[in-house]
Structure 1
Amino acid sequence: MKKLLAIAFIAVLTFSCQSKVAPTDIPKINGYWEIEKVVFPDGNEKEYSINEVYDYFEIKNNKGIRKKVMPQLDGTFLVNDTFETIEVKESNGKYSIHCNTAFAKWQEEIVSLTDKELVLLNPSKKEYHYKRATPINIIPNGKKTQ
């Protein structure tokens, strides 16, 4: 009986700690995101301490784009014309990003979304943990980047 109670407690704790994404959270995706780590299906993790590329999301009315951008030392970003069209859709209380390029279509489940954190689960069951990107600023004399 004690084992059953312990298992039930752990299950309740696990499911109650997961943050549920609400429709009002979706605009939080907009902006620059830097990958922190990838969690593989077997539980192994790969940490990213330095990123040469960030993901930039621009979504309005649940449709938009995602593109890769390269942060520069002056706080700006190098961009090109390559992007994915995306659409955020809800199904069974879960939100996912449906991605589309000329070469492929796929979707990623939004596991968690806050002002500072984004977690996406791809079809290969890899969890991508992002943090909100901040500008790199090494301009001398206290000048600020834009």
Structure 2
Amino acid sequence: MKNTFRTLFIAFLFMGCQQEITPADIANINGYWEIEKVVFDSGKDKEYKMNEVYDYFKIDQKNVGIRKKVMPQLDGTFMVNDAYEKVIIRFAEDKVFLDFSTPYMKWSEELIALSAEELVLLNKEKNEYHYKKATPINLLGDGKETK
């Protein structure tokens, strides 16, 4: 019986601590994001120390935009291609969703947390993807300004 109350208390604690995301917060999603870790439904984590690919989001004021995979280069720029996913931000039942689509498929992910430095998405398999805001890499030290 004690374990039941303890479990319920922890569950309510997590539900009460969930960030409320407003339409004004959505502008924070724009830019480059580097994945830090994935928290699987089983409770195990996978840490990412170094990433070859970042996610780039560009969402307009109508909550419509794109997500592209980009590759950071040593001079601080990013290599891109023409592939992208369409994104629509949807507010429903006190939750926020990112609805993705390509010519081949459609899917949604729940936006759990969003700030200028943090992004957390939850997919349908209940895996949490934790991102941090990415900054350009300039290992050349040539003094040139990065884009």
Do they fold alike, i.e. is TM over 0.5?
Answer: yes
Separation in 2 of the partners of 1:58 and 1:76? 17
For residue 142 of structure 1, report the CA deviation from its aligned partner.
3.8
Note closer, same or farther for the CA distance 1:4–1:107 as it changes in structure 2 (3 Å cut): closer
Residue aligning to 1:89: 90
The letter for the 2-side match of 1:53 is V
Residue aligning to 1:18: 18
SS of 1:74's partner is: coil
1:140 aligns to 2:141 (yes or no): yes
* RMSD (Å), alpha carbons: 1.9
Deviation digits for residues 39-73 of structure 1 (CA, Å, limit 9, x no counterpart): 11100110000000000000001000001000001
Separation in 2 of the partners of 1:98 and 1:4? 36
Gaps of 5+ in 1: none
Residue aligning to 2:54: 54
Residue aligning to 1:78: 79
* Count of residues in correspondence between the two structures: 146
Greater CA drift, 50-59 or 8-17:
8-17
For residue 4 of structure 1, report the CA deviation from its aligned partner.
8.4
Gaps of 5+ in 2: none
Residue aligning to 1:41: 41
Q: Percent identity over the alignment?
A: 55
Note closer, same or farther for the CA distance 1:141–1:101 as it changes in structure 2 (3 Å cut): closer
Residue aligning to 2:128: 127
1:110 aligns to 2:108 (yes or no): no
For residue 129 of structure 1, report the CA deviation from its aligned partner.
0.3
